[in-house]
Amino acid sequence: MTPPAVTGRHTASIAAIRPYRDGMDLPVALAVTAAVLGVAAIAGVLLTRARGRARTPSSALRLDAGALPGLDSLAPGATLVQFSTEFCTSCAPTRRLLGGIVEARDDLELVDVDLTHRADLARDLHILQTPTIFVLDADGVLRTRFGGAPRREHVLAAIDAVITSERQSA
Amino acid sequence: MTTTTSTTSPKGIDPRGPRFTAGVTLVLAIAALISALLVPIGATVGARAAEPGFILLAILAIAFAAGTLGGPPRNPFGIVFRSLVRPRLKPPTELEDPRPPRFAQGIGLVLSVAGVVLHLAGVPWALAIAAGFIVIASFLNAVVDFCLGCQLYLLLARAGILGRESSAA
């Protein structure tokens, strides 16, 4: 019988090119959706942990007085350098936090560098986000850097570490 | 120096606006993902265009298009935020540069348009995959205040690929 054979071949070729996928069962679909949300949640936890964390610089860097706009002198204890841009949401609160820490002590200084039109500085110093905070020791050596708004106790710990090592080497 | 920067930069926006928009986007993208997985894909373009996952992702694509062309406040969910939510909140303490979230809206636009177009063309997983990426990005933006597209904008601007130099006085 020729006609059924032709019809059969015809539908088979349509099925081969026809884009078709069955729907999933509800539990499977919900499980896949939950898995996608789980990936997002894990990424969120990792990103939150990395944000504002203190990092020891991987390569040696020394910033002398005058190396950055506004860095006129180095404080005897530690100098905090905050890199900001215009309209950076967490820069102003961070500046207030650091300002409060620096104001209470006379061996610290705070310098704010606006990177908005200084893409060259951002590139040279490997700054990928604002605010970024550098903690420099009395010689201008970069000891700790924070990417993202840091917590107060972490800044204080970084400053203490710099001053303790300065006392030991003195 | 500061006077030139204030004239060349766009007006700051309330950072809670894009975050609210991301929350609404997240809910719609989850609904789009579930229905894209549940509903069998139709055999014709017309059938595929009538599927709920397609309609939800198309709504997101329109919202992303408005947010990309007119900036984040032009996103329909951003308009809802300004007219209904913001009057009930305290005024913002800081403003945000609208350019990074606008770039992020553009990434959402590319993803959602790719999803709906490929789905209409009959690509089996296009809708679900596009919705899945939008779920992850809007989740990070809405829940942990991490805007993936904004970070990408900043990286590209840092690298000098996106015009920052043009605004330098």
Question: Which segment of A54-63, A108-117, B56-65, B153-162 scores lowest on mean pLDDT?
Answer: B153-162
Interface TM-score (ipTM) > 0.90: no
The pTM (predicted TM-score) of the whole model is 0.78
Q: Which residue has the higher pLDDT, A89 or B108?
A: B108
Name every chain A residue with its beta carbon within 8 A of the beta carbon of B168: 117
User: What is the spatial distance between Cα A132 and Cα B19, in angstroms, rounded to a whole number?
Assistant: 23
User: What is the spatial distance between Cα B99 and Cα B154, in angstroms, rounded to a whole number?
Assistant: 10
User: What is the spatial distance between Cα A73 and Cα B16, in angstroms, rounded to a whole number?
Assistant: 38
The answer, yes or no, to whether residue A15 has pLDDT greater than 70, is no
Average pLDDT over residues A142-155: 92
Name every chain A residue with its beta carbon within 8 A of the beta carbon of B128: 32
Q: What pLDDT was estimated at residue B26?
A: 98
Phi and psi of A154, rounded to 5°?
A: -70, -35
Q: pLDDT category, A1, cuts 50, 70, 90?
A: very low
Average pLDDT over residues B137-149: 93
In the 8-state DSSP scheme, what is residue A132?
Answer: E
Q: What pLDDT was estimated at residue A2?
A: 46
How do residues B85-97 score in pLDDT, each as one tens digit?
A: 999 999 887 788 8
Interface test with A, best of B25, B45, B133, B154 (most A CBs within 10 A): B154
User: What is the spatial distance between Cα A115 and Cα B67, in angstroms, rounded to a whole number?
Assistant: 26
Q: What pLDDT was estimated at residue B163?
A: 57
Q: What are A155's two structure tokens?
A: 């800044």
Q: What pLDDT was estimated at residue A12?
A: 47
**Full 3-state SS string of A90-118:** CHHHHHHHHHHHHHCCCCEEEEEEECCCC
Interface test with B, best of A11, A26, A36 (most B CBs within 10 A): A36
Q: What pLDDT was estimated at residue A52?
A: 81
How do residues B12-53 score in pLDDT, each as one tens digit?
A: 899 899 999 999 999 999 999 999 999 999 889 999 999 999
Q: Which residue has the higher pLDDT, B140 or A6?
A: B140
Distance from B167 to chain A by nearest Cα, in Å? 8
CB A66 within 8 A of CB A141: no
**Full 3-state SS string of chain B:** CHHHHHHHCCCCECCHHHHHHHHHHHHHHHHHHHHHHHCCCCCCHHHHHCCHHHHHHHHHHHHHHHHHHHCHHHCHHHHHHHHHHHHHCCCCCCCECCHHHHHHHHHHHHHHHHHHHHHHCCCCCHHHHHHHHHHHHHHHHHHCCCCHHHHHHHHHHHCCCCCCHHHCC
Give the nearest chain B residue to A93 (CA atoms): B94
Q: What are A150's two structure tokens?
A: 């840091």
How do residues A81-124 score in pLDDT, each as one tens digit?
A: 999 987 677 888 899 999 999 999 999 999 999 988 887 888 88
Question: Which segment of A51-55, B47-51, B118-122 scores lowest on mean pLDDT?
Answer: A51-55
Amino acid identity for residue A4 in this structure:
P
Q: pLDDT category, B9, cuts 50, 70, 90?
A: low
Percent of chain B with pLDDT over 70: 88
The SS3 assignment for A83 reads strand
Q: pLDDT category, B8, cuts 50, 70, 90?
A: low
C-alpha closest to that of A89 among B103, B22, B92, B66 = B92
